[in-house]
Amino acid sequence: MKTIQAYRFALDLNPGRERDVLAHAGAARVAHNWALARVKAVMDQRSAERSYGVPDEQLTPSLSWSLAGLRKAWNAAKPDVAPWWGEVSKEAFNTGLDALARGLKNWTDSRTGKRAGRPVGFPRFKSRRRTTPSVRFTTGAIRIEPDRMHVVLPRLGRLKLHESARKLARRLEAGTARIMSATVRRDGGRWHVSFTVEVERAERVPARPGSVAGVDVGIRHLAVLSTGELVPNPRHLTTARQRLRALGRALSRKTGPDRRTGRRASKRWERAATRLGRAHARVSNLRRDGLHKLTTRIAREHGTVVVENLNVTGMLANRRLAKHIADAGFAEIRRQLAYKTGWNGGRLLVADRWYPSSKTCSACGTVKTKPALSERTYTCEACGLTVDRDRNAALNLAALAAEFDTAGSGPVAARGADQKTRVRGQVAVKREPGTTLVGQTGTVPPQGRTTNRVLTKAH
């Protein structure tokens, strides 16, 4: 099975090598800003000409927004715009132009309705101080040295790694991996190189192919599995809050930059900002490490994993819980499970966001109207079941796998209901093109059991 994955390693750069990398990142920013200014100038000129009644065939020729068109315009202008262009790799300019081409395409697709999700704004100019330095190499000499502690990149030459690259080197030596690109980027005060690799992965089988695990994510417990396992929430951001506050106050006492007056930041301010950035990077690294270990273990052990399609964006609107929800990483858990289950020979089922997993009794199927968030124990008035609320939701998610198998292997859409749970009356079910509805639809039985449960299969 061929797949695309990334290998990320930290770099140890001396001041000279860091200046070289920053020069490449700056060249990418210069090319991006020049091309964006050129695009805006052509757009404004054509708009002004139209306002004067100039026919379309006599308007200023438009500039192609594709990468090839932007690269052609840049190559014609770079001797005047950047007379130093020969000092850096051509891949640096290609990095900035490619970012602009993608941004313009996303903006166009968002306006025309071809791109789902939030509206995408028009690309903006990149600032030297506020933009994360980054450069991407797609051609040239990109390899790992035999000692596995150095990498070679075009024009930058030999760069020292902070950690061994043996995991990637072994695959390259065995012929099961091919490097497609390499990106050098600075995060949290440390430089990293990320290799995008096409990997030939061996077919795997989960340790328990027939096992079904419903995963209910939350704040009190990061994840509650239907098997009864409770994964504690480490709350990395809350733990580091005291140190982050101290570093933030120390930063506020230094002389920082002022764009209005053109004042540059002091050296003390820069050192304080670096310390604060490293503290935030540590929180991010701890969270990433914990989520990867959790999702890898679940994907390797269980043959079927069932999660919910949570509206994380809407949940972040709650100002009391937004910080804790963002710290837990609900969306990242589902994203990682989506590809790791495929790597390990399992499958991921995603329940509809309207499916009442927390309101439904896992024993008899009775549905409550809307239990309060403070009610952490689910008590069923029909059968008398008393169970932890999150465990009850996980059991309900696991039970949906059986209904998916009963419905067959056809395409299944994420539709459990099109509105909030109703205890009695009619349940409106929207039938979308190319979907299969599992179970019975129509009037809800007297005990309130919902039988129109529908899942979507994530590939």
Active site residues: 216, 308, 390
Residues across the chain: 459
The secondary structure of the chain, three-state, reads CEEEEEEEEEEECCHHHHHHHHHHHHHHHHHHHHHHHHHHHHHHHHHHHHHCCCCHHHCCCCCCCCHHHHHHHHHHHHHHHCCCHHHCCHHHHHHHHHHHHHHHHHHHHHHHCCCCCCCCCCCCCCCCCCCCCEEEECCCCCEECCCCCEEEECCCEEEEECCCCHHHHHHHHHCCEEEEEEEEEEECCEEEEEEEEEEECCCCCCCEEEEEEEEEECCCEEEEECCCCEEECCCHHHHCHHHHHHHHHHHHCCCCCECCCCECCCHHHHHHHHHHHHHHHHHHHHHHHHHHHHHHHHHHHEEEEEEECCCHHHHCCCCCCHHHHHHHCHHHHHHHHHHHHHHCCCEEEEECCCCCCCCECCCCCCECCCCCCCCCEEECCCCCCEEEHHHHHHHHHHHHHHHHHHHCCCCCCCCCCCCCCCCCCECCCCCCCCCCCCCCCCECCCCCCCCCCCEEEEC
Burial string for 267-295 (b: 16+ CB within 10 Å, else e) reads: eebeebbeebbebbeebeeebeebbeebb
